[in-house]
Chain A
């Protein structure tokens, strides 16, 4: 079971998720402290590690639009983002760094709702409704299954050098 801990609207940009003024901080281990930095309450909970395992952010359409800054994905890596859809670079970054993203065009959930995420749908236990998800293309799922792009690239590197 996964609890919705934060809900945002459409077109949430990377400037909202990880403001530009913190971009000199790059290491994935250090970025969560600035997640949604201008949303004090939620940011404080991320910083304090005060979020239940599998906690979910629910977004609208075009989540993560804007900059290619990977900090916007790495700062949320301990969470799951369920959104109507994602901006291209953000989705790519999320897959690459192991942030779980769920594309769910009809998602309807409020903060506090309990969700169950299956391979094919998001079940909102609180509202008693189910919403289908859009699976990733196979080649991208392979990167997720490898544990992210670093182990995936490492495998390709070793294969190439072995030739």
Chain B
């Protein structure tokens, strides 16, 4: 019986010829990523060693990555103290892949991993962040875990509490219409599957539209698979994966792409033709409450947000700049931009995109998780409404349970910035 990409990766990572959905395994980990919640991982890691008489050393510092992104620069003394504790741990454990609050290396973890070439096709990648699903864009099996699970990974190099997921195959065909792109595809898919439709499953993406899609677009769709409950999204590695890793991530060592067997067994197959897809909006307060833009066009918006691990890359910023060039953000609406990394920030400085956005009235916030999770910067007032290219619109997400968040693509966000109401980018471009 043939295997899916996830099954092949898990079989290899456990040294078995074959694995099947439902098995609970302890796969070896290639990349173990944490952000500020490493403060809790450190605590739990020390707990594991407590009373053993053993020196608390991580299994292999080369496989561990720590990135500050959730609250940068620190918004409180508590966060600053956590960051200090993590900095000291990282130095003591000789973890070299550490990205501090620095313009020459910082950014959001899900952008830092790919752009530094830390993730390779066929890897098992775990992160103490649910959007770790992003890295399936490079043909890896990548999923979010909790801090205690990560403490076990730091100790043993294996992830202990993992069920082999079944796989849903999604075949995508057709050419995106103007003003429509990967974000609209993934919102449409989440609306179709529902918020738990892929719980404990992997979504494996296939089809001509995926083959033509840039790695940036693939990161968008894999990032948000978790919003359908998925363990991971995977785009099997191909020529574009190799191009990205060689040209943009400067990877020189050999790659070992994993493709599914021709007789791989899928739980179900969905086919999507994007040729007639309209811009999609996820309405409050669940990500699967997805409607075409027409259904909510005209809704008044107080704050527009472009950024995050989902849509804070150069192509996203340039899409927005092209729409806003020489024009203004509507009065009564504010616009925040937070690029996904400082490398992207610099590229957007050079391309002129940031100046265009500032001239239009946008505020540029430093790379990081920014207002997406409501910790600092860009909180919403009572009864305010945000339209955002981020990934979650749960009640309270942007720091206020009495506010509403709509999710959309960068093109919809930029077109709506011009009018102050939810607007169709096909009419603005």
Residue positions of A touching B, CB distance < 8 A: 11, 13, 15-16, 19-21, 23-27, 38, 61-62, 65-71, 73, 85, 87-89, 92-93, 95-97, 137-140, 143, 148-150, 152-154, 156-158, 160-161
Contact = CB atoms under 8 A, between A and B. Distances in A.
B41 to A, nearest CB: 9
A137 B47 CA distance: 26
18 contacts: A11-B286, A21-B375, A23-B70, A24-B79, A26-B39, A26-B82, A26-B147, A38-B396, A66-B130, A68-B132, A70-B147, A92-B146, A92-B149, A96-B146, A148-B148, A153-B48, A154-B49, A158-B52
B148 A149 contact: yes
B373 interface: yes
Given A15-B394, A26-B37, A152-B160, 9 more contacts: A65-B195, A66-B130, A66-B394, A68-B129, A87-B199, A89-B144, A137-B163, A140-B161, A153-B156
A62 B227 CA distance: 11
Instruction: Name the residue in A88, A143, A160, A161 with the highest tally of chain B Cβ atoms < 10 Å from its Cβ.
Output: A88
B146 A68 contact: yes
Contacts of A62: 195-196, 199, 229
B143 to A, nearest CB: 8
Nearest to A160: B156
Instruction: Name the residue in A67, A95, A156 with the highest tally of chain B Cβ atoms < 10 Å from its Cβ.
Output: A67
A96 B49 contact: no
Instruction: Name the residue in A23, A71, A143, A152 with the highest tally of chain B Cβ atoms < 10 Å from its Cβ.
Output: A23
A66 B286 CA distance: 10
Instruction: Name the residue in A15, A68, A70 with the highest tally of chain B Cβ atoms < 10 Å from its Cβ.
Output: A68
A154 B396 CA distance: 37
Given A16-B395, A67-B130, A96 B199 contact: no
B337 to A, nearest CB: 20
B174 interface: no
A15 B393 CA distance: 10
B43 A93 contact: no
Interface residues of B, number: 57
B195 A23 contact: no
Contact of A139 (B24, B44, B229, B375): B24
Contacts of B333: none
A16 B76 CA distance: 22
Contacts of A148: 148
Contact of B394 (A16, A69, A149): A16
Contacts of B52: 154, 157-158
B219 to A, nearest CB: 18
A70 B78 contact: no
B103 interface: no
Contact of A70 (B40, B132, B160): B40
A153 B160 contact: yes
Contacts of A73: 146
B374 interface: yes
A158 B161 CA distance: 18
A93 B196 contact: no
A89 B200 CA distance: 9
Contacts of B37: 23, 26, 69-70
Contact of B196 (A61, A89, A154, A161): A61
